[in-house]
Amino acid sequence: MKSLAASALFALPALGAIVSTRAPNASVNAVTLDVVNAQGSPDGFERTLITANGTYPGPTIVATKGDTLVVTVNNLLDDPSMRRSTSMDFDGVFVTTDNAFNEGSPFVTTCPVGPNASYTYTLPLGEQTGTFWYHSQLSVQYVDGLRGALIIYDPDDPQKDLYDVDDESTIIQVGDWWHNTSTSLLAGYVATGIVPVLDSGVGRFQGGPEVPFNVVQGKRYRFRIINESARNVFTMSVDGHNLTIIEADGVATTPLTVDEVEMLAGQRYSVVLEANQPVDNYWFNAPFVGGDPTRNLNQNATLSRGILRYQGAPDADPTGPMTLGPTDGTPLVEANLRPLVPEPAPEPDVNITLNLVVTTGKAQWNVNNVSYVSPIVPTLVKILNDSANATADFNVTENTFVLPANAIIQVDFPPNDDDEAHPFHLHGNNFFVVKSNSSDVINTADPIRRDVTGVGAAGTTVRFSTANPGPWFFHCHIFWHLQAGLATVMASGLDDVRAETKPTPEWEALCPAYDALPADQQ
């Protein structure tokens, strides 16, 4: 794999090597992530980062269906200008009730890992396959660089006849980047209520090197695209080529051919691109939106693109103009996605309405007039200690909904007048998108299931099952909004959690150790 040190915001998993160590025919997949401060220049501006194994993006974790991931995180952070503790989340990976303590949501299912400490996350993957990612879930720490790809391959993929190439060279990670540290940016947000506007999106910096994706004419490529943003929306397209969607957030879809794909923060898609054009160079476009660009003049959105380079083409920029992508094409409409294996959305047993409101002039978001604040004692600890059995047993600011086990929950997000769609993400489960923000159609017959969907002006309805009980975070994946309170906890089957969840001594030691840390090490 090649280095993309100056352009890692639109990257193959090149800076971070594949880190999984899996013995032949074994099911245990051991990974070590050293969380360290390291110097880097993802867009040409050098700064200190928070990284996994010293690279940005972090090393790609690969696994096979049925594996158990065993991820040891060693916290070696020593820069006092940034958060010193950490906690790792594996986005989209279902953590079962008995293993809820290995779900890395700080102050919901765990406490953070302090500096000079380690924690090992054990994650049986079961039947899950597809495209996922990992990142710090503590505050807005992943803004400083702690994020990377996680791919679960399926040797018996029912759609493998649709593509010829699916390997580390076809994993594409896009994201937003800031020149200042997350702690200083967060302080500015709290003071002004204005979400920090990125310095750069995907692509290269002024005068920087090319970001090529190499293909051979006649072959079909499964590109796994991950939006690892803390805020920004990216719209992916390739000049002269269609993209056929076959996966959304780890769920195989009926092939849907489009020419551009809008991706909210936290969303993942697999698209098949057929290299069926004349040998040449083609722009791989990724324009972004997220905040007023006049608030940060470092941006150059023109460079938000890579190059699809056919074998035999010159090492040069495409001759065509840099555009924002198709102007009269077939963009993805989320409501048109269908699962490869159709399943009707079960009728709900419980109905919840979540109204999202921003407090004008403040860095504060409310869900049903409550701004989420992380508790001192994690939700799971309260449940296991039998000190919380109903919604009233949690602090109001924990915004915790206590739900029955083995029920179907419908969540309605009424239309709101905010100018951007909020990518709501559910931990521990995914959900049926019964009504997408992209359409007025209500589909209960065969809706797509995924774990991140947009909530905005058109209104959204999702349904999920509580057959996997636990206290699962349900929040906006614009992490600035999450830190400003745009979050809830869906705590289901509390008696089941107490009966089935048996934490390890290693997990039980996390909270006392974290609580004993001085503030500058938390």
Note the pLDDT tens digit of each residue in 75-127.
999 999 999 999 999 999 999 999 999 999 999 999 999 999 999 999 999 99
Do 457 and 483 share a domain, yes or no? yes
Residue 8 has pLDDT above 50, yes or no: no
322 found inside a domain: yes
pLDDT tens sequence across 193-241: 999 988 876 555 555 566 789 999 999 999 999 999 999 999 999 999 9
What does DSSP assign to residue 180?
S
Do 289 and 435 share a domain, yes or no? no
Q: How many CB atoms lie within 10 A of CB 155?
A: 9
167 found inside a domain: no
Token representation of residue 282 = 């083609």
pLDDT score recorded for residue 15:
44
401 found inside a domain: yes
Q: In which residue are the tokens 């002004």 written? A: 192
Do 483 and 371 share a domain, yes or no? yes
Residue 387 has pLDDT above 90, yes or no: no
| Secondary structure E strands in 228-369 | 233-238, 243-248, 251-258, 261-263, 268-274, 281-285, 288-289, 305-310, 350-353, 356-358, 365-367
pTM of the model: 0.94
pLDDT score recorded for residue 1:
27
Q: In which residue are the tokens 């390291």 written? A: 38
pLDDT tens sequence across 51-84: 999 999 999 999 999 999 999 999 999 999 999 9
Token representation of residue 440 = 């007025």
Boundary-marking domain end, from 157, 181, 211 = 157
107 found inside a domain: yes
pLDDT score recorded for residue 380:
98
Longest dimension (CA), the chain: 67
Could you tell me the pLDDT band of residue 305, with boundaries at 50, 70 and 90? Answer: confident
Three-state secondary-structure class, residue 519: helix
User: Could you give the CA distance from residue 134 to residue 33 in angstroms, rounded to a whole number?
Assistant: 11
Could you tell me the pLDDT band of residue 45, with boundaries at 50, 70 and 90? Answer: confident
pLDDT tens sequence across 257-303: 999 999 999 999 999 999 999 999 999 999 888 777 777 666 666 67
pLDDT tens sequence across 149-176: 999 999 999 999 999 999 999 999 999 9
| Secondary structure E strands in 363-496 | 365-367, 400-403, 408-413, 422-426, 431-435, 449-450, 452-455, 460-465, 470-476, 487-492
β-sheet with 61-64: strand ranges across: 61-64, 147-153, 130-136, 88-91
Could you tell me the pLDDT band of residue 488, with boundaries at 50, 70 and 90? Answer: very high
Amino acid (1-letter code) at residue 32: T
The fraction of the chain above a pLDDT of 70, given in percent, is: 91
Question: How far does Cα 313 stand from its chain's mean position?
Answer: 34
Q: Mean pLDDT, the chain, as a whole number?
A: 92
Residue 17 has pLDDT above 90, yes or no: no
Q: Which of 158, 138, 125, 99 is nearest to 28 (CA)?
A: 125
Which contacts of 190-196 are long-range, i.e. CB under 8 A and separated by 24 or more positions? 190/363, 191/363, 192/363, 193/359, 193/360, 193/361, 193/362, 193/363, 193/364, 194/295, 195/231, 195/290, 195/291, 195/478, 195/480, 195/481, 196/291, 196/296, 196/480
Domain total of the chain: 3
Cα within 13 Å of Cα(443), Cβ side: 21
306 found inside a domain: yes
Do 251 and 322 share a domain, yes or no? yes
Do 114 and 230 share a domain, yes or no? no
- Check: CB of residue 63 under 8 Å from CB of residue 500: no
Do 129 and 191 share a domain, yes or no? no
Do 502 and 421 share a domain, yes or no? yes
DSSP 408-427: EEEEEE-----SS-EEEEES
Do 242 and 266 share a domain, yes or no? yes
Do 117 and 153 share a domain, yes or no? yes
Three-state secondary-structure class, residue 429: coil
Q: Is there a cis peptide before residue 57, judged by omega within 30 degrees of 0? A: yes
Cα within 13 Å of Cα(25), Cβ side: 0
Do 180 and 38 share a domain, yes or no? no
Three-state secondary-structure class, residue 122: strand
162 found inside a domain: no
Do 279 and 378 share a domain, yes or no? no
215 found inside a domain: yes
Q: Which of 473, 331, 470 is nearest to 399 (CA)?
A: 473
458 found inside a domain: yes
What's the domain range around 135? 10-157
Give the domain CATH number at 332.
Answer: 2.60.40.420
Do 91 and 178 share a domain, yes or no? no
pLDDT tens sequence across 341-376: 999 999 999 999 999 998 877 899 999 999 999 999
